[in-house]
């Protein structure tokens, strides 16, 4: 315990880098997932082909290899060296964004067809349909899977130390080499990754309950802190079970 307490500031520096990578990767992944997910629902073949190409390419590529490519191959091709953190953010964002795009597409497709028909009957534009009717309903269905993907993205940043980023994993390896305390060095990293994951889980569940509340779905367990510790149950009838 004394080992971890004495080196806590160093581990916290690594944790801050991991949080930055996670936040940046999530922002990029969310934008890409929303854009290509919506594109994949369009009736025209060209937008669907573009969305499918993005999903299949970046879902089928290892995040680690993509990170190496951004850090080492891209400078050879362009002559421009990306910062290690930026390269890691782009790599994990592109990779997780491809998975997220399929989540968005599936959630939009899951919205009842009657909702689409109602927006047409009300003479809404495509943008109004998506913003006011379709996406709010699809959003509640996306969030549980988005929560899982956010944790996967956070864990994927752990390999960024291989391209010189001083994240939690890099700090743990540095402590192991400096002290020879393998178990304690990596135990500190395990604890920090676990704590960051719990914050992500809590935040996503908070968003889930807010989305369900806006749709008139009242999750079991109330609105308190204890209720947020349990995943919400979606209902199809619009009321509480």
pLDDT tens readout for residues 24-46: 999 999 999 999 999 998 888 89
Query: What's the confidence (pLDDT) of residue 218?
Result: 59
Task: Specify the CATH number for the domain of residue 147.
Answer: 1.10.3720.10
Say how many domains are in the chain. Answer: 1
241 within domain boundaries:
no
pTM: 0.83
Concatenate the DSSP letters of all residues of 50-119 into one string.
HHHHHHHHHHSS-HHHHHHIIIIIHHHHHS-PPPHHHHHHHHHHHHHHHHHHHHHHHHHHHS-HHHHHHH
40 within domain boundaries:
yes
Q: Say if residue 183's pLDDT is above 70.
A: yes
- Predicted confidence band of residue 230 (pLDDT cuts 50, 70, 90): low
240 within domain boundaries:
no
97 within domain boundaries:
yes
- Predicted confidence band of residue 103 (pLDDT cuts 50, 70, 90): very high
Neighbours of 229 (CB within 10 A): 11
Q: What is the mean pLDDT of residues 161-185?
A: 90
Query: What's the confidence (pLDDT) of residue 171?
Result: 93
Query: What's the confidence (pLDDT) of residue 7?
Result: 83
Separation of alpha carbons 37 and 95, rounded Å? 14
Q: How far apart are the first and last CA of the chain?
A: 46
Residue 126: both structure tokens together: 């495509």
Q: What is the mean pLDDT of the chain?
A: 86
Range of the domain at 72: 2-228
Query: What's the confidence (pLDDT) of residue 4?
Result: 73
Query: What's the confidence (pLDDT) of residue 178?
Result: 87
Q: Which residues touch 91 (CB under 8 Å, ≥6 apart)?
A: 63, 66, 67, 69, 70
235 within domain boundaries:
no
239 within domain boundaries:
no
57 within domain boundaries:
yes
- Predicted confidence band of residue 79 (pLDDT cuts 50, 70, 90): confident
pLDDT digits (tens, 9 = 90+) for 191-227: 999 999 999 999 999 988 888 887 776 554 555 544 5
């Amino acid at each position: 315990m004394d080992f971890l307490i004495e080196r806590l500031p160093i581990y916290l520096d690594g944790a801050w880098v991991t949080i930055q990578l996670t936040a940046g990767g999530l922002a990029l992944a969310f934008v890409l997932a929303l854009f290509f997910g919506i594109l994949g629902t369009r009736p025209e073949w060209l937008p669907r082909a573009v969305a499918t190409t993005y999903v299949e390419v970046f879902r089928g590529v290892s995040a680690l290899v993509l990170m190496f490519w951004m850090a080492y191959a891209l400078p050879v091709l362009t002559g421009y060296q990306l910062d290690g953190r930026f390269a890691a953010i782009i790599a994990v964002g592109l990779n997780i964004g491809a998975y997220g795009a399929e989540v968005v597409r599936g959630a939009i497709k899951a919205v009842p067809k009657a909702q689409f028909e109602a927006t047409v009957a009300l003479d809404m534009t495509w943008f109004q349909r998506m913003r006011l009717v379709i996406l709010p309903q699809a959003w509640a269905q996306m969030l549980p899977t988005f929560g899982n993907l956010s944790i996967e993205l956070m864990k994927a940043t752990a390999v960024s130390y291989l391209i010189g980023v001083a994240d939690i994993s890099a700090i743990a390896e540095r402590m192991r080499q400096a002290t020879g305390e393998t178990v304690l060095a990596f135990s500190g990293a395990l604890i920090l990754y676990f704590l960051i994951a719990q914050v992500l889980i809590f935040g996503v569940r908070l968003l889930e309950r807010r989305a369900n509340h806006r749709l008139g779905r009242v999750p079991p367990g109330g609105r308190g802190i204890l209720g947020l510790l349990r995943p919400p149950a979606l209902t199809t009838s619009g009321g509480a079970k």
